[in-house]
A and B are shown apart, each in its own frame.
Chain A
Amino acid sequence: MTEIVKARNVSMKFKAVEALTNVSLDVAPGEQVALLGHNGAGKTTLFRIILGFIKPTAGSISIAGFAPGSDGARRAVSYLPEQVAFPKMLTGREVVRFYARLKGAAPEDVQAVLDKVELVEAADRRVDTYSKGMRQRLGLAQALVGNPRLLLLDEPTSGLDPLSRQHFYELIADVSRRGCSVLLSSHGLSELEARTDRVAILRKGRLVADGPLAELQHQADLPIRFRVRAATGAVGSVHAEIGGGRINCASVELYCARRDKMRILSKISGLGAQVEDVDVASPTLDEVYRYFSNNGIEQTQRGDIQCTA
């Protein structure tokens, strides 16, 4: 099966700035890939290369087998920019109809996508009366129209409330079930809510991670945090048994690698009545993201706390 996006060693240099360095990324048909990175990590640059707005200074890239920006590639890709804007004087329906015609979509598609993004009621109002969330949904509607093979979404969920974010990911899941690939960018893993098949992380123009979320979590191997609340007066002996650090006069906190987790747990349960409560926290998605995007700074901090159990 041909890849929808096939980027090989793509580099992009703007005068003195190296925006992308040796990026290789594939997106298969129907696959959802999230591209993460800080502001300026190169996400939008990669999108502009995929759209054919700029040409990479090195490397090769093809979109559904076509050169970026060629007729075939433009027909395959639908784009939603981060700051989506439409002529203020037009109504939502007119905007979608406009893009439907440009993409050669059927007229009845207009109503269907407006329905999908829940803009039917506001469809005949002017765009300048829309809220930011509604404009974002209108942007998604124009991207969905015409059955694209690749949806290119630049930070589509920034500025959406959690409920519409959830609805947004449901929509994305729906189109990818019908074989449309999705490449979306985001600021952090937590915003993704673990909805995409694969996660690629850019740091300063380099791809530092590319794989399913579970695999990245495994790769990062961030320590697991235990917080043990000792029974009255028992904090000293609990601390002596399991080590770690005392965070107040009743609790002990310690970090350990994933592979030690069960050993520590059984040790804690062995303490019996001395332990009143135990709280086990796996690294959050944000911590995993920070690990990759900050070159593992997080881990070195935590590495100082020795697992003495």
Chain B
Amino acid sequence: MHGVITIAATEIRIGLRNRWIILSSLILLAFALILVLLGSAPGGEVKTDAVTVVVASLSTLSVYLVPLIALLLSFDAIAGEIDRGTLQLVLASPVSRGSVLVGKFLGHVAVLAIAVSSGYGIAGLVAFFANGAGEAVALIGVGRLIASSTVLGATFIAIGYIASASVRQTGTAAALAIAIWLFAVVLYDLALLGGLLASQDGFFARAVFPWLLVLNPADAFRLYNMSAIDALAVGSNLGGAGSALPLSGLATMFSPVAWTAVALGLSTFILKRVRP
């Protein structure tokens, strides 16, 4: 346990020193502020709180940006450190390889949580105060978005470790990470869309599609946030799918959590076989 905390604390320290935290916070903040400014224009016309509109837009942004930041954070964790020769000493120390991975995971999740909290937190407060008449309860929506984004990020950090532990070169790990991102957040949804269009009898749409949607942690994250806010009020196109989903509400977040556990287990399994 001592080793886990030490490794996690060192990862956070490195994240602060190499400006990872500040950089990813700024990226998230910049995108979020653009959405706040764009979102405030129609916010006046629709009978929805301005902050809620922002949360809806930010959750769509999160689906793309958070997995990317998470994978960029984790792809280097094992392959890169073995490449540079910094991991050999850690693996030779009395800390078990499972603890090394969990320590890195906790550290990286903390780094991501700081970035997401500061980026979205500031944007949420800007939206709240800029529109004056905002309800305090809308800020809970921002908190929910930050928490669920962190869970989504944790999932892709753990998946990134699988890529990092399976290959020997950092470059290969980076390519693998980008491929994972492209598949999970872009191609997967396109394939589902294609499936919906192709299945004429509606069997796919009724029996298969909802499960496939929840299976993907990024889609599950989007469903959770859309169902948590009054999705119909802000005009989400996912309202129709929501009614037929196998899981609803907070339960949809079971998907990213389960993926995290599986990915951590699998990457530990691979790391135990790595010969540094």
Residues of chain A touching chain B, judged by Cβ–Cβ distance below 8 Å, are 48, 51, 53-54, 71, 74-75, 77-79, 81, 83-87, 89-90, 94, 98-99, 101-104, 142
CB distance from B132 to the nearest CB of A (A): 43
Chain A residues within an 8 Å CB radius of B91 = 53
Q: Are A89 and B89 in contact (CB under 8 A)?
A: no
Q: Are B89 and A99 in contact (CB under 8 A)?
A: yes
Give B238-276 as 1s and 0s: 1 = Cβ < 8 Å from A's Cβ atoms.
000000000000000000000000000000000000011
Q: Could you tell me the distance between the alpha carbons of A77 and B91 in the complex, rounded to whole angstroms? A: 12
Select one of A85, A94, A102 contacting B95, CB under 8 A: A102
Q: Are B92 and A79 in contact (CB under 8 A)?
A: yes
Q: Are A85 and B3 in contact (CB under 8 A)?
A: no
Q: Could you tell me the distance between the alpha carbons of A92 and B162 in the complex, rounded to whole angstroms? A: 31
Select one of B14, B86, B93, B276 contacting A103, CB under 8 A: B93
Chain A residues within an 8 Å CB radius of B10 = 87, 90, 94, 98
Give B118-134 as 1s and 0s: 1 = Cβ < 8 Å from A's Cβ atoms.
00000000000000000
CB distance from B17 to the nearest CB of A (A): 4
CB distance from A24 to the nearest CB of B (A): 23
Q: Could you tell me the distance between the alpha carbons of A86 and B92 in the complex, rounded to whole angstroms? A: 14
Select one of A85, A94, A101 contacting B86, CB under 8 A: A85
CB distance from A121 to the nearest CB of B (A): 21
Q: Are A102 and B85 in contact (CB under 8 A)?
A: no
Chain B residues within an 8 Å CB radius of A90 = 10, 13-14, 17
CB distance from B86 to the nearest CB of A (A): 5
Chain B residues within an 8 Å CB radius of A104 = 2, 94
Chain B residues within an 8 Å CB radius of A94 = 10, 13
Q: Could you tell me the distance between the alpha carbons of A101 and B93 in the complex, rounded to whole angstroms? A: 10
Q: Are A103 and B94 in contact (CB under 8 A)?
A: yes
Interface size class for chain B? 20 to 34
For this complex, 28 residue pairs linking A to B, each with C-beta atoms less than 8 Å apart, are: A53-B276, A71-B94, A71-B96, A74-B94, A77-B92, A79-B92, A81-B85, A81-B89, A84-B89, A85-B84, A85-B86, A87-B86, A90-B10, A90-B14, A94-B10, A94-B13, A98-B6, A99-B89, A101-B2, A101-B3, A101-B6, A102-B3, A102-B7, A102-B93, A102-B95, A103-B94, A104-B2, A142-B89
Q: Assess whether B46 is interfacial by the CB under 8 Å rule.
A: no
Select one of A54, A74, A77, A89 contacting B18, CB under 8 A: A89
Chain B residues within an 8 Å CB radius of A83 = 85
Q: Could you tell me the distance between the alpha carbons of A94 and B85 in the complex, rounded to whole angstroms? A: 18
Chain B residues within an 8 Å CB radius of A51 = 92
Q: Which residue of B lies closest to A76 (CB)?
A: B94
With A83-B85, A84-B85, A85-B85: A74-B14 Cβ-Cβ less than 8 Å: no
Q: Which residue of B lies closest to A50 (CB)?
A: B92
Q: Could you tell me the distance between the alpha carbons of A54 and B93 in the complex, rounded to whole angstroms? A: 15
Select one of A54, A79, A86, A102 contacting B275, CB under 8 A: A54
Chain B residues within an 8 Å CB radius of A102 = 3, 6-7, 90, 93-95
Q: Could you tell me the distance between the alpha carbons of A94 and B10 in the complex, rounded to whole angstroms? A: 9
Q: Are B6 and A89 in contact (CB under 8 A)?
A: no
The 7 closest A-B pairs by CB, nearest first: A89-B17, A85-B85, A101-B6, A102-B93, A79-B92, A75-B94, A74-B94
Q: Could you tell me the distance between the alpha carbons of A142 and B89 in the complex, rounded to whole angstroms? A: 9
CB distance from B113 to the nearest CB of A (A): 20
Q: Assess whether B236 is interfacial by the CB under 8 Å rule.
A: no
Chain A residues within an 8 Å CB radius of B95 = 102
Q: Are A74 and B86 in contact (CB under 8 A)?
A: no
Chain B residues within an 8 Å CB radius of A77 = 92
Chain A residues within an 8 Å CB radius of B2 = 101, 104
Give B45-61 as 1s and 0s: 1 = Cβ < 8 Å from A's Cβ atoms.
00000000000000000
Residues of chain B touching chain A, judged by Cβ–Cβ distance below 8 Å, are 2-3, 6-7, 10, 13-14, 17-18, 84-86, 88-96, 275-276
CB distance from A89 to the nearest CB of B (A): 4
Q: Could you tell me the distance between the alpha carbons of A102 and B2 in the complex, rounded to whole angstroms? A: 7
Q: Could you tell me the distance between the alpha carbons of A170 and B94 in the complex, rounded to whole angstroms? A: 27
Chain A residues within an 8 Å CB radius of B96 = 71
With A85-B85, A90-B10, A94-B13: A74-B275 Cβ-Cβ less than 8 Å: no
Chain B residues within an 8 Å CB radius of A75 = 94
Chain B residues within an 8 Å CB radius of A103 = 93-94
CB distance from B168 to the nearest CB of A (A): 14
Q: Could you tell me the distance between the alpha carbons of A7 and B170 in the complex, rounded to whole angstroms? A: 35
Chain B residues within an 8 Å CB radius of A54 = 275
Residue among B7, B10, B276 with max Cβ neighbours from chain A (10 Å): B10
CB distance from A185 to the nearest CB of B (A): 15
Q: Could you tell me the distance between the alpha carbons of A195 and B18 in the complex, rounded to whole angstroms? A: 42
Q: Could you tell me the distance between the alpha carbons of A75 and B85 in the complex, rounded to whole angstroms? A: 20
Q: Could you tell me the distance between the alpha carbons of A142 and B275 in the complex, rounded to whole angstroms? A: 22
Q: Which residue of A lies closest to B11 (CB)?
A: A87
Q: Are A79 and B89 in contact (CB under 8 A)?
A: yes
Q: Could you tell me the distance between the alpha carbons of A125 and B107 in the complex, rounded to whole angstroms? A: 23
CB distance from B170 to the nearest CB of A (A): 14
CB distance from B241 to the nearest CB of A (A): 45
CB distance from A61 to the nearest CB of B (A): 15
Q: Could you tell me the distance between the alpha carbons of A189 and B41 in the complex, rounded to whole angstroms? A: 79
Taking A101-B2, A102-B95 as given, write out 12 further A-B residue pairs in contact, using a Cβ cutoff of 8 Å, ordered by the A residue number: A48-B276, A53-B276, A78-B92, A81-B85, A83-B85, A85-B84, A85-B86, A89-B17, A90-B14, A94-B10, A102-B7, A102-B94
